[in-house]
Amino acid sequence: MPSIIQVQDVSKAYRRDSFDIPVLNNISLEIPEGEFLALMGPSGSGKTTLLNLIAGIDRPNKGTIVVGGTNIASLNESHLAKWRSTHVGFVFQFYNLLPVLTAFENVELPLLLTSLSKKDRKQHVEAVLTVVGLKDRMNHYPKQLSGGQEQRVAIARAIATDPTILVADEPTGDLDKSSADEILTLLERLNKEFKKTIVMVTHDPRAAEKAHTIRHLDKGELK
Amino acid sequence: MKILKLVFKNALRHKLRSFLTILGIGIAVMAFGLLRTVVTAWYAGIEASAANRLITRQAVSFIFPLPYAYRDQIAKIPGVEIVTYMNWFQGVYIDKNQFFARMACDPETFFNVYPEFIVPPDQMETFKKERNSCVVGRDIAKQYNLKIGDVMPIEGDIYPGRWEFVVRAIYQPRDKTVDGTQMLFHWEYLNERMKQEMPIRAGDVGWYIVKISDPSKSAQISEQIDALFKNSRAETKTETERAFQQSFIAATSAIVTAMNVMSFVIIGIIMLVLGNTMIMAARERTREYAVFKTLGFSGGHLVGLIAGESFLISFFGGGLGLLMTFPLINMFEAFMPKGWFPIFNLEPITMILAGVSALSVGIVASLFPIQRALGTKIVDGLRHIG
Ligand SMILES: Nc1ncnc2c1ncn2[C@@H]1O[C@H](COP(=O)(O)OP(=O)(O)OP(=O)(O)O)[C@@H](O)[C@H]1O
Ligand SMILES: [Mg+2]
Q: Do A82 and B296 touch (CB under 8 A)?
A: yes
Give a yes or no: residue B295 inside a domain. yes
Q: Which domains are assigned to chain A?
A: 3-222 (3.40.50.300)
Reported as half-sphere exposure (CB side, CA atoms, 13 A), residue B187 has a value of 20
Is the Cβ atom of A18 under 6 angstroms away from ligand 1? no
Is the Cβ atom of A14 under 6 angstroms away from ligand 1? yes
Within this chain, do residues B261 and B356 fall inside the same structural domain, yes or no?
yes
Within this chain, do residues B221 and B102 fall inside the same structural domain, yes or no?
yes
The count of residues in chain A is 223
Q: Could you tell me the pLDDT band of residue A1, with boundaries at 50, 70 and 90?
A: low
Within this chain, do residues B227 and B93 fall inside the same structural domain, yes or no?
yes
Is the Cβ atom of A49 under 6 angstroms away from ligand 1? yes
In the prediction, which pLDDT does A65 show?
Answer: 94
In the prediction, which pLDDT does B62 show?
Answer: 81
In the prediction, which pLDDT does B176 show?
Answer: 74
Q: Which residue of B has its CA nearest to A157?
A: B295
Whole-angstrom distance, CA of residue A173 vs CA of residue A189: 19
In the prediction, which pLDDT does B349 show?
Answer: 87
Whole-angstrom distance, CA of residue B103 vs CA of residue B85: 10
- Calculate how far, in angstroms, residue B107's C-alpha sits from the geometric centre of ligand 1: 94
Name the pairing type of β-strands A36-40 and A213-218.
Answer: parallel
Number of domains in chain B: 2
Collect the ranges in chain B with pLDDT lower than 50.
none
A28 neighbors A8 (Cβ within 8 angstroms): yes
Q: Do B295 and A84 touch (CB under 8 A)?
A: yes
- Calculate how far, in angstroms, residue B214's C-alpha sits from the geometric centre of ligand 2: 88
Whole-angstrom distance, CA of residue A29 vs CA of residue A6: 6
A220 neighbors A22 (Cβ within 8 angstroms): yes
The pTM of the full predicted model, rounded to 2 decimals, is: 0.72
Bridge partners of B57? B237
Give a yes or no: residue B241 inside a domain. no
Give a yes or no: residue B273 inside a domain. yes
Residue B119 Ramachandran class (φ > 0 left, ψ -120 to 50 alpha, else beta): beta
In the prediction, which pLDDT does A206 show?
Answer: 87
Within this chain, do residues B229 and B336 fall inside the same structural domain, yes or no?
no
Cite the DSSP H helix spans in A77-216: 77-87, 103-108, 118-131, 147-159, 177-193, 205-210
Within this chain, do residues B306 and B378 fall inside the same structural domain, yes or no?
yes
B294: contact with A, CB 8 A cutoff: yes
DSSP labels, B63-113: TS-EETTHHHHHHTSTTEEEEEEEEE---BSSSTT----EEEE-TTTHHHH
- Calculate how far, in angstroms, residue A146's C-alpha sits from the geometric centre of ligand 2: 23
Within this chain, do residues B98 and B219 fall inside the same structural domain, yes or no?
yes
Whole-angstrom distance, CA of residue A50 vs CA of residue A66: 13
More confident residue, B54 or A16: B54
- Calculate how far, in angstroms, residue A47's C-alpha sits from the geometric centre of ligand 2: 6
Whole-angstrom distance, CA of residue B43 vs CA of residue B36: 11
Within this chain, do residues B83 and B228 fall inside the same structural domain, yes or no?
yes
Q: How far apart are the first and last CA of chain B?
A: 28
- The minimal CB distance from B13 to the residues A96, A100, A113 is found for A100
Is the Cβ atom of B380 under 6 angstroms away from ligand 1? yes
Residue A218 CB coordination number (10 Å): 12
Within this chain, do residues B186 and B262 fall inside the same structural domain, yes or no?
no
- The minimal CB distance from A96 to the residues B287, B298, B377 is found for B287
Within this chain, do residues B134 and B182 fall inside the same structural domain, yes or no?
yes
Give a yes or no: residue B52 inside a domain. no
Q: Which residue of B has its CA nearest to A109?
A: B295
In the prediction, which pLDDT does B343 show?
Answer: 67
Segment A136-143 shows an average pLDDT of 95
Within this chain, do residues B306 and B191 fall inside the same structural domain, yes or no?
no
Q: Do B382 and A57 touch (CB under 8 A)?
A: yes
The single-letter code of the amino acid at B310 is S
Give a yes or no: residue B372 inside a domain. yes
Residue A2 in this model has a pLDDT that exceeds 90: no
A92: contact with B, CB 8 A cutoff: yes
In the prediction, which pLDDT does B47 show?
Answer: 63
Q: Where are the beta strands (DSSP E) in chain B?
A: 53-58, 66-67, 80-88, 102-105, 117-118, 133-137, 151-156, 161-173, 183-186, 204-205, 207-212, 236-240
Within this chain, do residues B128 and B178 fall inside the same structural domain, yes or no?
yes
Give the residue from B82, B49, B88, B91 showing the smallest Cα distance to B66.
B88
Give a yes or no: residue B243 inside a domain. no
Within this chain, do residues B32 and B80 fall inside the same structural domain, yes or no?
no
Q: Domain span at residue B217?
A: 65-233
Residue-wise pLDDT tens digits, A154-188? 999 999 999 989 999 999 988 899 999 999 999 99
B237 neighbors B58 (Cβ within 8 angstroms): yes
To test ligand 1's pocket by mutation, which of A23, A25, A92, A216 has the most ligand atoms within 8 angstroms of CB?
A: A23
Among A102, A109, A114, A150, most B C-beta atoms within 10 A, so best to mutate, is: A109
Q: Could you tell me the pLDDT band of residue A87, with boundaries at 50, 70 and 90?
A: very high
Cα B121 to Cα B74, B106, B170: the distances in Å are 29, 17, 11
Q: Do B293 and A57 touch (CB under 8 A)?
A: yes
To test ligand 1's pocket by mutation, which of A45, A53, A203, A221 has the most ligand atoms within 8 angstroms of CB?
A: A45
Give a yes or no: residue B49 inside a domain. no
- The minimal CB distance from B295 to the residues A52, A99, A109 is found for A109
